[in-house]
């Protein structure tokens, strides 16, 4: 256990404002949830370490603000990131569109090893009141498959899938060290390259 | 009331309501703290309660698009803002600038409640942005324009002047939707609220945390060490480091050691770089230029080279952005309007842990592995805490800033300064009034010696005071103490301070960029119930007052107690300066205001105090404050 290699991974959360980026991170890092989460200004930096089977991953998480006025500063936060979680609110089609545009923007950056995850947040609401769901999980899954993303519906409130999301990312991260070679990153990049033109579908 | 060049003819504004049952003030809320819900987003411009609010503030584009409103949902104010911009445009077409309009509306209402003051409209134009205040508080146009200026500074601090360019380019630009949405407009709300409670907002000053000078010096040295050694100094873009608490600023250090050298010299304020009429031609640069920009702007005249307005807006941004507090570390673009209104600087913000919170101490990154999913939940989320802000013009400065933070924190902890500051803050926190209020630095009953007017309720006529040092951009005021414990009385006193402050003739600031009006607006509002007199003639008891303060008209003005390192006091302003004394008696208090060569003192005394006694108390208080200055103000 103690001999596992520790790798650092910069992870950035992107998405429309109010999608629940900060709530996801807070749930993951501190195990907390607040009904009223103040909007983030700029970006918050948090760290959390997780252990997966072959490595200990120390996430350096950039929880960015969703407001559009910060958009031009986003590259500052996602530059050099090893992973990105693009968050949307399953009640809001526009936040899903925004998520897609984030995906496109990240694809344009051409970081072949970037692990991208799509998170449909606030899934607990759909469980209680299905009529509030506006973005279909299948639709999102299809989009994710098409673009080589890894998709999960999460709920920061109930903590459903939150840790899974991060652990899955930790597993998918390309292992730089020779002792732990992993093919995941390569596969993703191949997909990403081929799928790029299709992302115009919306 | 001073409808100078305002055209009351444009009163089609349809806002002349008769506001039924007017006496109700906003519902009481405890604790008294601004909260986004106080923006009342559900109200529209036809909503009776909206119309009744006493202190409206608006930011609209000159095309009439609402950008922000203190009360009500911006989207439901279209009618009002259209009328507002029509008025502004109507006057502007004649080549005049609208300053203020005596507003419409009845003074008394049908229900026979207490008569109400009609609203007045005060307007400040900044390029394509129109800022307006519609108030029934009796604040003078000059005071309101100063506040609107600060509001504009906060807007620029959020968005840079790029917002002006965008609005100039296209009047259809949806600045509100694109730029101010998502809760960031709450920053403007807190500021508008703070303007009532923090005299610094209209005095252009911030409240320093009282600290023994050697502590403060250590703090400043630690900050500068982080800025220079770790972040690479001004050459690498490092700008300033600020150590602040909930209500005060503990220390400010500039990466450039020369900045602010002349702060203690009575220099006139410099023209700020952004208040020039919207020159929409300057290109947006992502980051401000290096340290070189500073010299050209000649902004060295304030303490630590930081314009007080920049300190106020930066602190407001940091304090009211709750996300800063709840996160370990944040990195956010901020604009310091008086440094570079066109570009963002980047602020690293971290709340430092004091040992009563959690002993864990060391920087959070260094915790390996086993930290479970819900370890470390701080209880310090609500209150207190010492906040470190490191500002750099480089957008890549986060790693360096994080390192600098670790170093600063380590130094402060080693010296025990963090805990001392926290203890100071705790000892400061007032017992009976929570929430937003004047950031008091001392307590009259406890800290002020009896000889200087301290003591309990019955023991001294001294009720309250505000002591301002314009060259430092700082002021000191005591916490409220009995009998001033009602919010209403406190507010009334603050408004009195404000009125007197703005009615004084002073050399400072010699150029008030927020207002082209001459400073002299004799008796600015109809509110002054008391007699106000200019009692500066020789032979009056106030001659003694001046004598006591040792203000001579010679070059060495105000050379009382030291603490300032700025040596020579420039004599250049001595001819210009116009010392004034204001004495006024009303039901609640006797107010004595004095503008000296490099300080201003406003003292509220028991209403039964005789003039001679008032002057004597004021004199002794002033002498004491001068002597204590090194500990009260950040001067090192």
B134-164 pLDDT, tens digit each: 888 888 888 888 889 899 999 888 888 888 8
| Across B234-262, average pLDDT | 84
Look over chain A and give the mean of its residue pLDDT values, rounded to a whole number: 83
> Which of A2-11, B8-17, B360-369, B447-456 holds the top average pLDDT?
A2-11
Are the Cβ atoms of B322 and A31 closer than 8 angstroms? no
Q: Please report which residue ranges of A110-183 form alpha helices under DSSP H.
A: 123-128, 137-147, 162-172
Q: State the helix-helix crossing angle for A162-172 and A184-195, rounded to 10 degrees.
A: 100
Q: How confident is the model at residue A45 (pLDDT cuts 50, 70, 90)?
A: very high
Q: Kindly give, in sequence order, each residue whose CB lies less than 8 Å from that of residue B51, ignoring residues fewer than 6 positions away.
A: B15, B17, B19, B45
Which residue is closest to A60 within chain B, CA to CA?
B365
Smallest Cα distance from A61 to chain B, Å: 11
Q: Residue B172 pLDDT more than 60?
A: yes
DSSP per residue over B281-326, as a string? TSPP-SB---THHHHHHT-TTSGGG--HHHHHHHHHHHHH-HHHHH
Of A44, A68, A69, the CB nearest to B323: A44
Which residue is closest to A62 within chain B, CA to CA?
B330
pLDDT, one tens digit per residue, over B284-332 is: 333 333 333 333 333 447 888 888 889 999 999 998 877 888 888 899 9
Q: How confident is the model at residue B19 (pLDDT cuts 50, 70, 90)?
A: very low
* Contact call for residues B386 and B251 (beta carbons, < 8 A): no
Question: Do B73 and B103 share a domain, yes or no?
Answer: yes
Are the Cβ atoms of A67 and B369 closer than 8 angstroms? no
Q: What is the pLDDT of residue B96?
A: 54
Smallest Cα distance from A81 to chain B, Å: 14
Instruction: From B518, B513, B519, select the one nearest B273 (Cα to Cα).
Output: B513
Are the Cβ atoms of B182 and A6 closer than 8 angstroms? no
Question: Do B273 and B393 share a domain, yes or no?
Answer: yes
Q: Which residues of B touch A68 (CB under 8 A)?
A: 177-179, 181
Question: Do B150 and B219 share a domain, yes or no?
Answer: no
| Across B374-378, average pLDDT | 35
Say if B168 falls within a structural domain.
yes
Structural domains for chain A: 6-201 (3.40.50.300)
Least confident piece of the model among A47-51, B232-236, B521-525: B521-525
For B49-109, the three-class secondary structure string (H helix, E strand, C coil) is HHHHCCEEEEEEECCCCEEEECCCCHHHHHHHHHHHHHHHHHHHHCCCCCCEEECCCCCCC
Smallest Cα distance from A68 to chain B, Å: 6
Say if B372 falls within a structural domain.
no
Q: How confident is the model at residue B31 (pLDDT cuts 50, 70, 90)?
A: low
Q: What is the pLDDT of residue A59?
A: 93
Least confident piece of the model among B30-39, B370-379, B443-452: B370-379
Question: Do B106 and B17 share a domain, yes or no?
Answer: yes
Q: Residue B231 pLDDT more than 50?
A: yes
Q: Which residues of B touch A63 (CB under 8 A)?
A: 327
Q: Residue B89 pLDDT more than 50?
A: yes
> Which of B75-79, B192-196, B322-326, B429-433 holds the top average pLDDT?
B192-196
The values of phi and psi at residue A96, to 5°, are -70, -40
Among residues of chain B, what percentage have pLDDT more than 70?
A: 64
* Contact call for residues B549 and B622 (beta carbons, < 8 A): yes
Q: Residue B34 pLDDT more than 90?
A: no
Smallest Cα distance from A58 to chain B, Å: 8
Instruction: From B297, B180, B290, B303, select the one nearest B239 (Cα to Cα).
Output: B290
Question: Do B247 and B354 share a domain, yes or no?
Answer: yes
Q: Residue B621 pLDDT more than 70?
A: yes
Q: What is the ipTM of this complex?
A: 0.81
| Across B515-524, average pLDDT | 32
Instruction: From B506, B500, B426, select the one nearest B464 (Cα to Cα).
Output: B500
Question: Do B420 and B480 share a domain, yes or no?
Answer: no
**How far apart, in whole angstroms, are the C-alpha atoms of residue B342 and residue B352?**
31
How far does Cα A13 stand from its chain's mean position? 6
Question: Do B166 and B65 share a domain, yes or no?
Answer: yes
Taking CA atoms, A153 is separated from A32, A104, A150, B34, in Å, by: 18, 20, 11, 35
pLDDT, one tens digit per residue, over A58-106 is: 999 999 988 887 888 888 889 889 999 999 999 999 999 999 999 999 9
Say if B234 falls within a structural domain.
yes
Q: Which residues of B touch A28 (CB under 8 A)?
A: 373
Say if B375 falls within a structural domain.
no
Smallest Cα distance from A73 to chain B, Å: 8
- CATH, residue B192: 3.30.450.70
Least confident piece of the model among B453-467, B494-508, B554-568: B554-568
Q: What is the pLDDT of residue B261?
A: 62
> Which of A187-191, B108-112, B357-361, B452-456 holds the top average pLDDT?
B452-456
Say if B593 falls within a structural domain.
yes
Q: How confident is the model at residue B510 (pLDDT cuts 50, 70, 90)?
A: very low
Q: Which residues of A touch B362 (CB under 8 A)?
A: none
Instruction: From B220, B204, B65, select the one nearest B128 (Cα to Cα).
Output: B65
Q: Residue B104 pLDDT more than 60?
A: no
Point out which residues pair with B321 in neighbouring strands. Answer: none
> Which of B69-83, B353-367, B407-421 holds the top average pLDDT?
B407-421
Q: What is the pLDDT of residue B390?
A: 94
Are the Cβ atoms of B329 and A46 closer than 8 angstroms? yes
Smallest Cα distance from A95 to chain B, Å: 13
Q: Which residues of A touch B368 (CB under 8 A)?
A: 6, 49, 56, 58
Are the Cβ atoms of A41 and B367 closer than 8 angstroms? no
Are the Cβ atoms of B182 and A18 closer than 8 angstroms? yes
| Across B351-380, average pLDDT | 43
Q: Which residues of A touch B364 (CB under 8 A)?
A: 47
Instruction: From B143, B132, B134, select the one nearest B203 (Cα to Cα).
Output: B143
**How far apart, in whole angstroms, are the C-alpha atoms of residue A127 and residue B623?**
69
- The tally of domains found in chain B comes to 3
Look over chain B and give the mean of its residue pLDDT values, rounded to a whole number: 70
Q: Which position has the higher pLDDT, B357 or A173?
A: A173
CA B497, B501, B504, B505: dihedral to nearest 10 degrees?
160
Question: Do B402 and B477 share a domain, yes or no?
Answer: no
Least confident piece of the model among B100-114, B220-234, B357-371, B569-583: B357-371
Q: Kindly give, in sequence order, each residue whose CB lies less than 8 Å from that of residue B631, ignoring residues fewer than 6 positions away.
A: B210, B211, B212, B213
**How far apart, in whole angstroms, are the C-alpha atoms of residue A63 and residue A13?**
5
Q: Residue B379 pLDDT more than 50?
A: no
Say if B534 falls within a structural domain.
yes
> Which of B251-260, B426-435, B532-541 holds the top average pLDDT?
B251-260
Say if B207 falls within a structural domain.
no
Question: Do B522 and B384 share a domain, yes or no?
Answer: no
Question: Do B344 and B468 share a domain, yes or no?
Answer: no
Question: Do B485 and B580 share a domain, yes or no?
Answer: yes
**How far apart, in whole angstroms, are the C-alpha atoms of residue B205 and residue B472?**
8
Which residue is closest to A51 within chain B, CA to CA?
B369
Smallest Cα distance from B465 to chain A, Å: 36
Question: Do B147 and B288 share a domain, yes or no?
Answer: no
The domain boundary, picked from B135, B169, B202, lies at B202
Q: What is the pLDDT of residue B82?
A: 83
Say if B514 falls within a structural domain.
yes
Longest dimension (CA), chain A: 49
* Contact call for residues B555 and B574 (beta carbons, < 8 A): yes
Q: Residue A43 pLDDT more than 80?
A: yes
The values of phi and psi at residue A158, to 5°, are -95, 0
pLDDT, one tens digit per residue, over A99-111 is: 999 999 999 987 8
Q: Residue A150 pLDDT more than 60?
A: yes
pLDDT, one tens digit per residue, over B185-214 is: 788 888 998 888 899 988 889 999 888 999
Q: Residue A132 pLDDT more than 80?
A: yes
The boundaries of the domain holding residue B600 are 444-632
Are the Cβ atoms of A67 and B365 closer than 8 angstroms? no
Q: What is the pLDDT of residue B402?
A: 92
The domain boundary, picked from B202, B226, B255, lies at B202
pLDDT, one tens digit per residue, over B36-48 is: 777 777 777 777 7
Are the Cβ atoms of A68 and B181 closer than 8 angstroms? yes
Which residue is closest to A33 within chain B, CA to CA?
B374
Are the Cβ atoms of A45 and B377 closer than 8 angstroms? no
Q: Residue B377 pLDDT more than 80?
A: no
Query: Does residue B306 have a cis peptide bond before it, meaning omega lies within 30 degrees of 0?
Result: no
């Amino acid at each position: 256990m103690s001999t596992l290699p520790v790798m650092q991974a910069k992870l950035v959360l992107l998405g429309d404002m109010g999608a629940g980026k900060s709530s996801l991170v807070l749930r993951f890092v501190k195990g907390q949830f607040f009904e009223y989460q103040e909007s983030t200004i700029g970006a918050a930096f948090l760290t959390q370490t997780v252990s997966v089977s072959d490595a200990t991953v120390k996430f350096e998480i950039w929880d960015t603000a969703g407001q559009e006025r910060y958009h031009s500063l986003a590259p500052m936060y996602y530059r050099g990131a090893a992973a990105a979680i693009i968050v949307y609110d399953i009640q809001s089609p526009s936040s899903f569109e925004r998520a897609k545009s984030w995906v496109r923007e990240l694809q344009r950056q051409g970081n072949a090893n970037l692990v991208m995850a799509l998170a449909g947040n606030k899934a607990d609401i759909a469980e209680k009141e299905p009529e509030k769901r506006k973005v279909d999980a299948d639709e999102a899954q299809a989009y994710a498959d098409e673009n080589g993303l890894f998709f999960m519906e999460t709920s920061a409130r109930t903590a459903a899938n939150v840790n899974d999301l991060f652990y899955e990312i930790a597993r998918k991260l390309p292992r730089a060290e020779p002792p732990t070679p992993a093919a995941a990153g390569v596969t993703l990049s191949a997909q990403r390259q081929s799928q790029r033109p299709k992302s115009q579908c919306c | 009331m001073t409808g100078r060049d305002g055209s009351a003819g444009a009163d089609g504004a349809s806002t002349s309501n008769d506001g039924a049952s007017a006496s109700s003030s906003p519902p009481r809320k405890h604790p008294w703290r601004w909260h986004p819900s106080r923006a009342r987003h559900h109200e529209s411009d036809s909503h009776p309660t909206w119309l009744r609010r006493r202190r409206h503030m608006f930011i609209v584009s000159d095309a009439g698009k609402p950008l922000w409103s203190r009360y009500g949902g911006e989207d439901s104010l279209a009618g009002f803002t259209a009328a507002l911009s029509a008025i502004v445009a109507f006057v502007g077409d004649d080549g005049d600038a609208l300053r203020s309009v005596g507003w419409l509306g009845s003074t008394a209402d049908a229900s026979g409640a207490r008569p109400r003051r009609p609203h007045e409209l005060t307007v400040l134009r900044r390029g394509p942005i129109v800022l307006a205040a519609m108030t029934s508080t009796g604040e003078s146009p000059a005071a309101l324009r100063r506040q609107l200026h600060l509001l504009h500074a906060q807007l620029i601090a959020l968005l840079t002047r790029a917002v002006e360019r965008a609005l100039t380019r296209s009047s259809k630009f949806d600045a509100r939707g694109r730029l101010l949405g998502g809760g960031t407009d709450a920053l403007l709300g807190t500021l508008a609220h703070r303007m009532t409670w923090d005299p610094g907002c209209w005095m252009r000053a911030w409240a320093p945390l009282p600290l023994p000078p050697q502590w403060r010096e250590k703090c400043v040295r630690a900050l500068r060490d982080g800025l220079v050694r770790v972040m690479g100094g001004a050459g690498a873009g490092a700008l300033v480091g600020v150590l602040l608490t909930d209500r005060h600023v503990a220390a400010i250090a500039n990466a450039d050691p020369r900045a602010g050298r002349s702060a203690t010299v009575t220099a006139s304020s410099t023209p700020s770089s952004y208040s020039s009429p919207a020159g929409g031609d300057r290109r947006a640069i992502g980051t401000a230029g290096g340290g070189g920009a500073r010299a050209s702007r000649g902004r060295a005249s304030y303490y630590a080279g930081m314009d007080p307005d920049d300190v106020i807006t930066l602190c407001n941004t940091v304090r009211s952005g709750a996300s800063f507090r709840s996160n370990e570390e944040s990195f956010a673009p901020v604009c310091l309007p008086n440094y570079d209104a066109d570009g963002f600087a980047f602020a690293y913000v971290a709340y430092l842990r004091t040992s009563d919170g959690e002993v864990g101490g060391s920087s959070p990154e260094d915790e390996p592995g086993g930290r479970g999913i819900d370890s470390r939940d701080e209880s310090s989320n609500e209150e207190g805490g010492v906040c470190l802000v490191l500002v750099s013009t480089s957008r890549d400065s986060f790693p360096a800033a994080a390192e600098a933070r670790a170093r600063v924190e380590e130094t402060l902890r080693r010296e025990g300064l963090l805990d001392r500051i926290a203890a100071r803050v705790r000892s400061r926190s007032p017992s009976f009034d929570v929430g937003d209020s004047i950031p008091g630095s001392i307590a009259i009953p406890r800290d002020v010696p009896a000889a200087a007017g301290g003591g309990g309720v019955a023991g001294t006529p001294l009720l309250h005071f505000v002591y301002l040092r314009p060259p430092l951009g700082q002021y000191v005021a005591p916490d409220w103490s009995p009998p001033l414990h009602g919010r209403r009385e406190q507010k009334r006193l603050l408004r009195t301070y404000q009125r007197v402050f703005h009615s004084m003739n002073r050399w400072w600031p010699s150029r008030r960029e927020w207002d082209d009006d001459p400073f002299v607006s004799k008796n600015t509002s109809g509110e002054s119930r008391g007699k106000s007199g200019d009692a500066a003639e020789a032979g009056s008891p106030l001659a003694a007052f001046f004598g006591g303060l040792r203000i001579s008209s010679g070059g060495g003005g105000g050379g009382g107690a030291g603490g300032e390192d700025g040596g020579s006091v420039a004599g250049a302003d001595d001819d210009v300066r116009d010392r004034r004394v204001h004495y006024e008696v009303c039901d609640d208090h006797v107010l004595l205001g004095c503008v000296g060569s490099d300080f201003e003192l406003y003292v509220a005394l028991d209403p039964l105090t005789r003039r001679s006694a008032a002057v004597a108390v004021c004199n002794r208080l002033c002498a004491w404050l001068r002597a204590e200055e090194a500990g009260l103000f950040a001067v090192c």
